[in-house]
Structure 1
């Protein structure tokens, strides 16, 4: 990737990859809904505004025409006391109509490029057990299953 931080404009065989922009919020919300996380555009716009100014939370999008998004990957640089630093894929969606074109793999490669550029030696991703189709995808991308866990949530 050409940008100093390791994630810039790049071309895969299927799409152009670029950093997300504020005007992508509606398209990001549309893609997120396909994954089962429907949110209104205003909520996405607000969160995206905060992520775009964070050096530790890049969002990379794939597009054919610079307007309609075919997918996105959201990353987080994490420092954990007990295990050190890693980059985590916290969101990855490819549009239903654009799957099987290599877009997901191109987004993961962009994430790997960014991790290398910032000197982080490990990546991880969490995948819900009900998303059985995503497990072979991540294994094909070189990820190894590390553990199975329960996730607990408490609303405040």
Structure 2
């Protein structure tokens, strides 16, 4: 049986925080397990969901998806984060996670799913194109510090 057939996806649990923190660091966003736990609690209060992928009882990836409402565009469903352990990529976990996010979004009335990818993440661009996403625009993101040194 291939790895893709053995990958299982489930909703996140609080006990996943430490492993999610380790995977987030691989994505370039180091965080403590405590910070991840706090963020999971915040996300639980929003209209969003986090799914994790497991293979051989090891949490090997996660995806976050949110329902967003903007004044100008209305309701959109967006993948706000996705990472699969660097040693476990190309096992079907990424696709399984996206499929779970898509099903969650569709169940809530979504007609499309959006994902943004940093221009330097060429591997992710190929991944998304390979599973049916089409580039719809390129944009710049600006950031301005306005207070606390850390957003937890």
Correspondence for 1:64 among 55, 60, 67:
55
Give the structure 1 partner of residue 82 of structure 2.
92
- Unaligned residue ranges in structure 2 (runs of 5+): 147-152
Pairing 1:155–2:145 present: yes
Deviation track 1:33-67 (CA, whole Å, cap 9, x = no partner) reads 0111111111111111222343x11000011255x
Deviation track 1:75-94 (CA, whole Å, cap 9, x = no partner) reads 11011221221110000000
Counterpart mapping for 1:105-124 below 5 A: 105-124=95-114
Give the structure 1 partner of residue 17 of structure 2.
25
Moved >6 Å (runs of 4+):
none
Note the aligned Cα RMSD (angstroms): 1.3
TM-score (norm 2): 0.89
Structure 2 SS opposite 1:31: helix
Structure 2 CA distance for partners of 1:81 and 1:53, relative to 1, 3 Å:
closer
Residues 14 and 103 of structure 1 are in contact (CA less than 8 Å); yes or no, is this contact kept in structure 2? no
Aligned mates of 1:33, 1:127 — CA distance in 2: 16
Structure 2 SS opposite 1:13: helix
Q: How many residues align?
A: 143
Deviation track 1:104-148 (CA, whole Å, cap 9, x = no partner) reads 011111111111111111110000000011101111121111111
Counterpart mapping for 1:5-44 below 5 A: 13-44=5-36
**Structure 1 or 2: more helix by fraction:** 2
Structure 2 SS opposite 1:73: strand
- Unaligned residue ranges in structure 1 (runs of 5+): 1-11
Counterpart mapping for 1:42-53 below 5 A: 42-53=34-45
TM-score (norm 1): 0.87
Structure 2 SS opposite 1:43: helix
